[in-house]
Amino acid sequence: MNIPDGTAIIVGMNPEYFQTHFDPAGYEGPWPQQFAIITAYATTGEQWSLEANQKADLELKAELLRRGVWIQRMKGFSPQTGHSEPGWAAELTFSEACDLGLSFLQDAVYFVRSDVLFVSYCDSRRWEVLVGPFCERLRT
């Protein structure tokens, strides 16, 4: 399967990952040159209690604060289905983002480099798969 620019999508990757938009909770920038967008809520296809989701989110925030990196609340949402969940934009390397996502039981994380949005699995299938311009996916 290909997205419009011809970049191959990893077989089996959830197509919803390519429809996600982001609400930065009023933040208008500046954005770091590169950063990740990570959630700690139930991974794709799983259902967790609200308490479990909130606990994981607080643990993710605490870990990011412990690392001393730039962070910003970021809600990912689907304009098609209305599904949304809170996460964090954080100034991490691609490898750090995937490792952290994996430690929080995530299937995938987003990564932004120079206003270009990518998605990647967190596991051994790590590869930056092009989604498109980040700024076009921001709710302002």
pLDDT of res. 10: 57
The answer as to whether 14 is a domain residue is: no
| Mean pLDDT, rounded, of the chain | 90
In a domain, 104, yes or no: yes
Whether 30 is covered by a domain: the verdict is no
What pLDDT band is residue 83 in, cutting at 50, 70 and 90?
confident
4 within domain boundaries:
no
Question: What pLDDT score does 135 carry?
Answer: 94
Enumerate the H helices of 8-138 as residue ranges.
50-67, 94-103
Report if residue 109 sits inside a domain. yes
- Is the pLDDT at 90 greater than 60? The verdict is yes
14 pLDDT tier (thresholds 50, 70, 90): confident
CA distance linking residue 100 with residue 92, whole number of Å = 10
Please indicate, yes or no, if residue 12 is contained in any of the structural domains: no
Answer whether residue 120 is part of any domain.
yes
**What sections of 68-110 are H helices per DSSP?**
94-103
Length of the chain: 140
Higher pLDDT, 7 or 28: 28
Q: Which domain covers residue 92, as residue numbers?
A: 20-25+36-137
Tokens of 65: 């604060």
pLDDT at 1: 37
Please, are residues 126 and 108 in contact by the beta-carbon 8 Å criterion? no
Backbone angles phi, psi at 120, to 5 degrees: -150, 145
Structural domain tally of the chain?
1
Is residue 3, in this structure, part of any structural domain at all?
no
H-type alpha helices, the chain: 50-67, 94-103
